[in-house]
Structure 1
């Protein structure tokens, strides 16, 4: 008969393996690839565990990442454990990821979602929407609120976005995302679960708003309960 201690130890070991940040990043990147968010080697994700930041490498096929490919950095941004593949480079998104970590985030996602990119083309400085149910999946936002996301202009190199992103985060301290024109979006949360679920809600909202614009419906206008939208 196996002892209860043996079973408990096995369960604990299994939980540690499943929660390993390197393994988690590889799994999430494969999932995000299936959604079209990190195709063509673009996009990425980083997780914080204590005083360590774990980050996917740059310029690689995200759906094929292995746990051994992931970099570990300290809170100062210094690499303390390199990828097992010497050809891999730490993510070009690093300075932007650190802006979110410095605000207390536990995970940051950079998505090249088509919906996110298109959403940046139908607004000027900010993305705005109200009265859509999926807004309730965004931290601190309710159905009757107006969700506002800052939009910054794209640059030839990812790292050059860092100052504009920092300015946007200061200007919109409640935001948990920053859109990049003709590029994509950065999304962060307290942990990978919150970041993932928010990203799913954001992507729904980006797609919905682009479609609303095509139908000449103002997504930032509060609905008139006395009549139908398309009356």
Structure 2
């Protein structure tokens, strides 16, 4: 059974509000920009941010709660606050469904926007220490744990073109799933970044690491330092 109010700081509703506040102060979710979803494995529910709410002021009672419907790829709202659900929700649900993501983060950082003006179809970077925080897509056959990229490996993040509304990006996102099966993120030109992960902690680490690497690439371009 789902719950909105909890004293547990690791409860999905509390995590979404806490992380949204952190991302606001990083200037990744200013105004009402940005969104997030977290799947609660104990209740099989997905908590999703609403639209049009300042992220640093958001409360657990503002969040939508969705549960798996009877039809394939269908999610039904089981808790609906007096707010509109994020227009990103179809993208979030696609990540939960097709990538088995437990958390999806969408930010509007300046780095994520600017990098899409410097690169065309993909952002690629290698030989940077922070790359080691990113997943390779491979799994250790002995431990079953995910293998991360190494220093010399290439991190590739696909770039898709923006649309008038976020839900219009679904087709492009699903194309990314097929063409980049190991990707854990996608950049949207002149818009921002979507990141998904097997846990909320991993998704946060990926988001922070990617934004750091995007910032490095922008500064290297400004200084004419070859990638």
TM range (shorter): 0.7 to 0.9
Residue equivalent to 1:101: 96
Matches within 5 A, 1:1-231: 17-50=8-41, 51-75=44-68, 76-83=74-81, 86=82, 88-102=83-97, 103-140=99-136, 141-219=149-227
SS of the aligned residue for 2:177 comes to helix
Q: Deviations over 1:38-62 (max 9, x none)?
A: 1110111100012211011011101
User: What is the rounded CA distance, in whole Å, between the counterparts of 1:57 and 1:203 in structure 2?
Assistant: 24
Structure 1 moving runs of 4+ over 4 Å: none
Structure that is richer in helix per residue = 1
User: What is the rounded CA distance, in whole Å, between the counterparts of 1:218 and 1:177 in structure 2?
Assistant: 24
User: What is the rounded CA distance, in whole Å, between the counterparts of 2:93 and 2:226 in structure 1?
Assistant: 34
User: What is the rounded CA distance, in whole Å, between the counterparts of 1:218 and 1:113 in structure 2?
Assistant: 23
Say what the alpha-carbon RMSD is for the aligned residues. Answer: 1.2
SS of the aligned residue for 1:25 comes to helix
Stretches of structure 1 that go unaligned for 5 or more consecutive residues are 1-14, 220-231
Return the index of the structure with the highest Cα Rg: 1
User: What is the rounded CA distance, in whole Å, between the counterparts of 1:183 and 1:205 in structure 2?
Assistant: 17
Give the alignment's TM-score, normalised by structure 1. 0.85
Give the alignment's TM-score, normalised by structure 2. 0.86
